């Protein structure tokens, strides 16, 4: 009976994908496709230009960084829970976990969450070490940095207060010619720049440039970054001669000391600002 039933089913023959087209049609479009230009366009190969390839690479790298930052954030959240259960909420290990979690939030661009976490870190470090310990200064520096990136203008007051206290602690503990002291001063300058307090930003960035050149040498990449930023501040206050001088100083470090090419994205930004400054000087009659 089963044999009779199976005989009623139609026979099915499976063929490899390459054999589904006859030799006459293989490699050729169908007549309907020939009549439809849109169908031909869909079947045409896409030629990727170098700019398209670069854009795809940048998107891939950005997606990878975002995924890595989220994974890091989730890891430190889980680890923080374990530390609190094992050591209690006011232990130094909990403060270290909070510091790492705040850094992960910063990488995810979750600045309000990072600010809240760093404030908790400051509270723990104050209770353990007192108000003038270097660990308190480090935590306050992170509070100021996270607050400066926040969208709320109210947090700028937090940023200024925290960074000023962090600077005093680091200045008194580490001295004026220490990279951490210079980093805090650089963060203070960034807050002044975001608040459009250009004269205060100019003074702070000038001091940062001097200290970093003394500590790291005049050809260090951090010196080039600071010189570029200071040049942009001079450009905003219409001091084009000083702006051009700092742009050229930054380019000498990038192109001569570091041997970067003009196609490098960082060099391209400096060159663009330099060209804009020169055009502005020509339009205003500078020689």
- pLDDT greater than 90 at residue 221: yes
**Confidence band for 12, pLDDT divided at 50, 70 and 90:** very low
| Distance from C-alpha of 177 to C-alpha of 208, rounded to nearest angstrom | 10
Percent of the chain with pLDDT over 90: 70
Q: What is the pLDDT of residues 236-247, one digit of tens each?
A: 999 999 999 999
Percent of the chain with pLDDT over 70: 83
How confident is the model over 191-212, as a mean pLDDT? 95
Convert 118-154 to b/e letters by CB count within 10 Å (16 or more is b). Answer: bbbbbbbbbeeeeeeebbbbbbbbbbbbbbbbbeeee
pLDDT score at 20:
43
197-201, 212-216, 283-287, range with the lowest pLDDT = 283-287
**Collapsing DSSP states into helix, strand and coil, what is residue 284?**
coil
The 8-class DSSP code of residue 18 comes to: G
Q: What is the pLDDT of residues 29-40, one digit of tens each?
A: 444 545 555 455
Rounded to 5 degrees, what angle do the CA atoms 223, 224, 229 make?
100
pLDDT score at 24:
44
pLDDT score at 152:
78
**Confidence band for 211, pLDDT divided at 50, 70 and 90:** very high
How confident is the model over 264-280, as a mean pLDDT? 94
pLDDT score at 5:
44
Q: How many CA atoms are closer than 13 Å to the CA of 51, on its beta-carbon side?
A: 0
**Confidence band for 21, pLDDT divided at 50, 70 and 90:** very low
Q: What is the pLDDT of residues 29-84, one digit of tens each?
A: 444 545 555 455 455 555 677 777 767 777 787 788 889 999 999 999 999 999 99
**Confidence band for 210, pLDDT divided at 50, 70 and 90:** very high
Greatest alpha-carbon pair distance for the chain in Å reads 104
């Amino acid at each position: 009976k089963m044999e009779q039933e199976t005989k009623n089913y139609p026979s099915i023959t499976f063929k490899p994908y390459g054999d589904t087209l006859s030799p006459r049609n293989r490699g050729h479009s169908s007549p309907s496709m020939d009549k439809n230009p849109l169908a031909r366009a869909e079947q045409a190969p896409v030629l990727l230009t170098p700019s398209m390839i670069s854009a795809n690479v940048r998107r891939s790298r950005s997606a990878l960084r975002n995924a890595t930052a989220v994974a890091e954030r989730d890891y430190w959240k889980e680890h923080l829970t374990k530390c609190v259960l094992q050591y209690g909420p006011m232990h130094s290990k909990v403060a270290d976990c909070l510091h790492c979690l705040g850094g992960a939030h910063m990488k995810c661009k979750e600045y309000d969450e990072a600010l809240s976490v760093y404030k908790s870190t400051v509270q723990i470090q104050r209770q353990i070490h007192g108000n003038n310990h270097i660990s308190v200064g480090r935590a306050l520096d992170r509070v100021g940095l996270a607050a400066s990136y926040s969208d709320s203008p109210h947090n700028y007051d937090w940023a200024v207060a925290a960074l000023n206290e962090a600077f005093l602690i680091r200045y008194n503990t580490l001295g004026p010619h220490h990279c951490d002291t210079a980093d805090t001063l650089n963060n203070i300058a960034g807050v002044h720049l975001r608040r459009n307090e250009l004269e205060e930003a100019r003074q702070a960035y000038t001091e940062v440039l001097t200290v970093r050149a003394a500590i790291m040498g005049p050809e260090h990449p951090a010196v080039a970054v600071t010189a570029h930023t200071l040049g942009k501040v001079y450009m905003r206050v219409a001091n084009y001669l000083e702006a051009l001088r700092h742009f050229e100083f930054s380019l000498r470090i990038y192109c001569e000391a570091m041997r970067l090419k003009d196609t490098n994205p960082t060099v391209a930004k400096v060159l663009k600002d330099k060209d804009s400054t020169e055009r502005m000087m020509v339009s205003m009659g500078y020689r």
